């Protein structure tokens, strides 16, 4: 990967947690990575691999927390993993509170309620990734993003599916932070290659 091709690397620890040797190799390799790391141990109901229990996810977050610049914990897991969130804040690690919907775009009212919940918990970023099958879905995400309260977490908002690529450019241009792409293979439909996404967003920011 070329230098500065990405700003952050997401380490999906759950994907490597099925084998202890693989996990150990990941830990060793992660310590050598130059880009800041976003550590995620995803809940099974929001796309996580290996059907990890809350106890196992807690162990893995703590194991990789020392090398993390950010951690991503789903809103649904914020209570059960509140000790992990506390430890992250104590060491100065940023907290992303996330919500994923692989079927549709939630109504605007629900998105705003979730964002308020993330704000009350104290996340630095509230991330929404939802299935965008048409232009109306993109419009909903755009309205949610552009009417963000002045106080509270920043928003990382993106679509998946048929309108995923156009949503990531549009929302990235309009202020979404942490715009995700892939390095070697698509993780969810609608992603851009990471280096190309960064270049396209840079072009859109040019005056």
Query: Does 34 participate in catalysis according to the annotation?
Result: no
Residue 145: the pLDDT is 98
5 pLDDT higher than 90? no
* Mean predicted confidence (pLDDT) in 163-190: 95
Summarize pLDDT for 148-158 with one digit per residue, the tens.
998 999 999 99
Q: Which of 32, 34, 45, 100 is catalytic?
A: 100
Domains in the chain, ordered, with CATH? 1-97 (3.20.20.70), 102-207 (3.20.20.70)
Angstrom CA distances, 202 to 102, 173, 206, stand at 28, 9, 7
Nearest to 134 by CA among 162, 172, 171, 101: 162
10 Å Cβ neighbour count for 2? 6
Query: Does 100 participate in catalysis according to the annotation?
Result: yes
- pLDDT band at residue 34 under the 50/70/90 scheme: confident
Question: Are the C-beta atoms of residues 91 and 71 closer than 8 Å to each other?
Answer: no
4 pLDDT higher than 90? no
Q: What proportion of the chain, given as a percentage, has pLDDT over 70? A: 98
Rounded Cα distance between 119 and 32, Å, is 33
24 pLDDT higher than 90? yes
Q: Which of 4, 82, 110, 127 is catalytic?
A: 127
* Mean predicted confidence (pLDDT) in 38-45: 98
* Mean predicted confidence (pLDDT) in 60-89: 97
1 pLDDT higher than 90? no
Residue 207: the pLDDT is 60
DSSP percent split of the chain into helix, strand, coil, nearest 5: 45, 20, 35
The whole-chain average pLDDT of the chain stands at 95
**Residue 133 CB partners (closer than 8 Å, separation 6+):** 104, 161, 162, 163
Summarize pLDDT for 110-151 with one digit per residue, the tens.
999 999 999 999 999 999 999 999 999 999 999 999 999 989
**pTM of the entire structure?**
0.94
Rounded Cα distance between 81 and 77, Å, is 6
Residue 22: the pLDDT is 94
């Amino acid at each position: 990967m070329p230098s500065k091709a990405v700003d952050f690397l997401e380490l999906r620890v759950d994907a490597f947690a099925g084998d202890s040797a693989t996990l150990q190799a990941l830990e060793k390799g992660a310590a050598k990575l130059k880009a800041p790391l976003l550590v995620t141990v995803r809940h099974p109901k929001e796309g996580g691999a290996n059907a990890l229990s809350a106890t196992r996810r807690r162990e893995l977050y703590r194991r990789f927390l020392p090398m993390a610049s950010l951690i991503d914990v789903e809103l649904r897991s914020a209570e059960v993993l509140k000790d992990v969130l506390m430890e992250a804040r104590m060491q100065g690690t940023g907290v992303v509170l996330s919500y994923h919907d692989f079927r549709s775009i939630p109504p605007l009212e629900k998105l705003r309620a979730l964002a308020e919940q993330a704000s009350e918990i104290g996340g630095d970023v509230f991330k929404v990734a939802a299935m965008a099958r048409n232009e109306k879905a993109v419009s909903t995400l755009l309205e949610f993003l552009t009417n963000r309260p002045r106080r509270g977490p920043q928003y990382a908002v993106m679509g998946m599916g048929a309108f995923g690529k156009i949503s990531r450019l549009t929302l990235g241009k309009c202020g979404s932070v942490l715009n995700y792409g892939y390095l070697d293979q698509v993780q969810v439909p609608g992603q851009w290659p990471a280096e190309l996404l960064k270049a396209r967003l840079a072009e859109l920011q040019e005056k």
